[in-house]
Structure 1
């Protein structure tokens, strides 16, 4: 029985490359090692495609609703979106730098800031948030699919609901979700380094949807609509403008934290930079602006009803024109853009990063693909339709996770850019050896949790007031609420500054040391040693046979 159990465990292990120079253990597998040259396939156009999908989607479309509801005028909302997009691009550059330079993702990079064991905390935190967000994105994808099929079969759009009212889920939405998931699951098998074409196709379809809705609404309303010219209602437009900028950073900030998950696929230095600095703010600003204009114009066309969600707008348009065949054709093609956009964004911002995080929790048995399947199962198991329908505050709570993501971002940026000055000992990021410089105290760098808590606690009172009704009239929390509205920049600066100060007065061991990951040099250029080993002239660092498996003889190199 013991022998059979060992055989089963061996079969469940994730695949390992032939002639691999790494081994699957508690810290390492194929998806966690510094990206080898043959898997670095993303160039400038590939990253423009990445940010085109990240910046042009339903979330960017509807971001204007938050800003206008807060009291900004439409022109001011557009201005804040542009500024917020530019800051998002800059943040993405700094967060993705370690991916470009050392070819490691967020999962591994957390180890040098938090310690080998301490890194589990930020990884688990990001996994939890990503699974929740995937459930919501999948629900939106299912609704878009329902609208698409409703355009093909008008009767489906009016399908009788066979679910109970307490389920908070329509039968047609459930069918749409099943069809959308049937498309999504096979896409998880596409390796991240081969995602350029699917991202490009998704972007083209979504642009068609945006242009089509913009042309329809403006031409029929005779302009941008009356709402577009209404003044802002916020008593302090300057403060409202700042809140708008923070809303953009909050929406995309968590994604930028994991930028290195994708920049590690760069085929040359600075390949992601152009897309981060230009494509990120451009796509976010243009999509949000179109969303504001279409929403304003469509209010005049839909009987005064404000419809922020483009999925619901398409369904409303079909109803308005009594399922006319030409209108259904337009709704069908526009729905394709929304369906593909949800597929792309779920892969780009959810499955790849979450799969890598889960691989970091159990590298021997989980890789990106398996982790993505686990994420999909958990995301659907959360029943996002229940969360959306029965707990309207839940979305505010989920958005409030920026309170935790911002300090984590500040710690990572301060450590890599200021404390360590881009110098990493890569081989120590994959070992349980207590002599490793990232082992700290029993695997935990105490500076990180202290800095994290100091960045989180000032934001909690504002979060509590925002997500609970108990404190609705408590003006004593107004100052805390204003600080909470600056969550991302406040949390980032507070935790980052404290982390830098702690490292200044209590410097950790190994600052300034560099080393490669086994036989690859620090910055990804093959060394003469590696070439000689491949030619068989040097036997150091070559795998040896142990119980029929190749096990790497680790070599530590100090540069």
Structure 2
């Protein structure tokens, strides 16, 4: 009796905790489908060109672009050469974003579901898991910097009593008391933002990108005016020459690409909300490269100018603002750091939502669609981001950060497979209902749910990069052949994996490889007396798909 009662309670709560289903919905919650995984219906496609322009201002105007110059200067490039690398890399990011986002704006499907088409219904979990792991770490790091923005704001308001409060934590904690308190204040402010659905985020993001633009140019004007010029760093020459410089330029391009690799592979997560098929093109084609270029240039100039003022380089803007408060708490300094910190707070909130929470929430929804949707996935991601104690990665110079920054070698091949599969293998044609069918009738079931073509293609695009990757992590890179292949890692993985995937599908075509059919599911419901459909909780999990064209 006790066992039966326990089973009944488990069954009750399992049903109770299922994800909500829209009224009069044409889908059901199954192990493959929920509201956030289906092709986005027309009433939820609300994003205009302005929304996507704001998206890329938020995505491009961040710490990664701000500090890109420091990475390139460390490779021996001059400021002019560094900016040339950033221009070239940002244009490539823009082009890949347009192509990767095409499926979202035209077929209204995200990266998570499209992975099933190229990798197989079960194999599709592999690229999804890769993105989840990296997003958890980056989410933690970005929330830490959000806490630093709170520290700057409260330090400006309250003064030294808050900004320089007594530290009660040991050195081994890798964080001080003020930063830890600020971190949790940021989380308290950030979590309610996760309740806003993606289709209604345009207004908050517009406010954020206006604040970001004013902040960057405000800091630029202040620093150049105070230093009476742009400083000496801006004129620094290159310290490398010949083939070493050429290979460092190549590595610099792919390193900048790697910073946005997670965002561009999942572009369709956002473009599926586009109001019109071309709504995202201005943001991807114009705002994307322009924002990255301007932010990187401003970061270089501000760093150079403030070095004239304070006698040391501050590549990270948060560290710059905290240093200003440490040397001056005049009314002007407090006002300036307050408004700048407020803008960075808005930037970090938007960045955590755009680049981490929503996309990863969708990825997590794919792991268990019946009980996890985007919103729940966002909260799970946030909990994990806190649990990993991200300050350990930010404040410690460890090989883990090197590993994380080089993770693009795995994502580049996945991006190539995704794009080659959709344009060359499928010819932009999809059997949409088959993406939610977990048996051999699905066009994307392949062999026991795995597409060997994608697996082989990805491995062939990754293994030649591993020796150079390992050597760079160990700090023993010496310019041999493996190191040079790694210097081209993003291009190599993208092209090799994508091409082999296409060739294998050409040599070994799959059933229904091309052709299209709509998203139509047979819903297992009962009809009560009042004529309205009600879900049958005893339904089986495999959706019966109707209306498929046989190819």
Which residue of 2 is the match for residue 357 of structure 1?
363
Structure 2 unmatched ranges of 5 or more: 523-530
Deviates more, 1:384-393 or 1:545-554: 545-554
Q: Does the 8 Å CA contact 1:142/1:180 hold for their aligned counterparts? A: yes
1:114 match? 119
Ranges in structure 1 where 5+ consecutive residues have no aligned partner: 521-538
Q: Tell me, yes or no, if the aligned pair for 1:58 and 1:338 is still in contact at 8 Å.
A: no
Shift of 1:326: 1.0
Deviation (angstroms), 1:485: 2.1
Q: Which residue matches 1:506?
A: 508
> Which residues in structure 2 correspond to 1:298-447 (within 5 Å)?
298-303=306-311, 305-320=312-327, 322-447=328-453
Matched with 2:547 is: 556
Tell me if structure 2 keeps the 8 A contact 1:53–1:203.
yes
Question: d(CA) in 2 for partners of 1:319 and 1:133?
Answer: 28
Q: Which residue of 2 aligns with 1:30?
A: 35
In 2, Cα distance between equivalents of 1:450 and 1:443: 15
Which residue among 177, 182, 185 is the counterpart of 1:176? 182
Further displaced range: 545-554 or 20-29? 545-554
Q: 1:453 to 1:548 in 2, by over 3 A?
A: closer
Matching residue of 1:497: 499
Determine the C-alpha separation between the residues in 2 that align with 1:404 and 1:265. 27
Q: 1:509 to 1:266 in 2, by over 3 A?
A: same
Q: Does the alignment pair 1:274 with 2:265?
A: no
Instruction: Tell me the equivalent position of 1:125.
Output: 130
Matches within 5 A, 1:168-207: 168-207=174-213
- Using the size of structure 2 for normalisation, the TM-score is 0.94
Match of residue 297 from structure 2: 289
> 1:391 Cα shift?
4.6
Q: CA deviation at 1:510?
A: 0.7
Q: Residue 45 of structure 1 is aligned with which of 42, 50, 53?
A: 50
- 2:551 is aligned with 1:546: no
Task: Say whether residues 1:466 and 2:472 are aligned partners.
Answer: yes
Where 2:471 maps in the other structure, the secondary structure is helix
User: In structure 2, what is the equivalent of residue 527 of structure 1?
Assistant: none
Name the TM-score, length of structure 1 as normaliser: 0.92
The farther-off stretch of 383-392 and 371-380 is 383-392
RMSD over aligned Cα, in angstroms? 1.9
Q: 1:86 aligns with which of 79, 84, 91?
A: 91
* Count of paired positions: 533
C-alpha separation between the residues in 2 aligned to 1:493 and 1:136? 30
- Separation in 2 of the partners of 1:110 and 1:178? 35
- 1:224/1:371 CA distance change after superposition, 3 Å: same
**What's the CA shift for 1:242?**
2.6
Tell me, yes or no, if structure 1 residue 258 matches structure 2 residue 261.
no
8 Å contact 2:434–2:545 — kept in the other structure?
Answer: no
Q: Distance in 2 between matches of 1:338 and 1:484?
A: 34
Alpha-carbon spacing, 1:116–1:51, altered in 2? closer, same or farther (3 Å): same
Give the ranges of 4+ consecutive aligned residues of structure 1 lying more than 4 Å apart after TM superposition.
Answer: 542-545, 547-553
Q: 1:215 aligns with which of 199, 206, 221?
A: 221
Q: Alpha carbons of 1:315 and 1:544: their partners in 2 closer, same or farther (altered >3 Å)?
A: closer
Find the residue that maps to 2:351 and give its secondary structure: helix
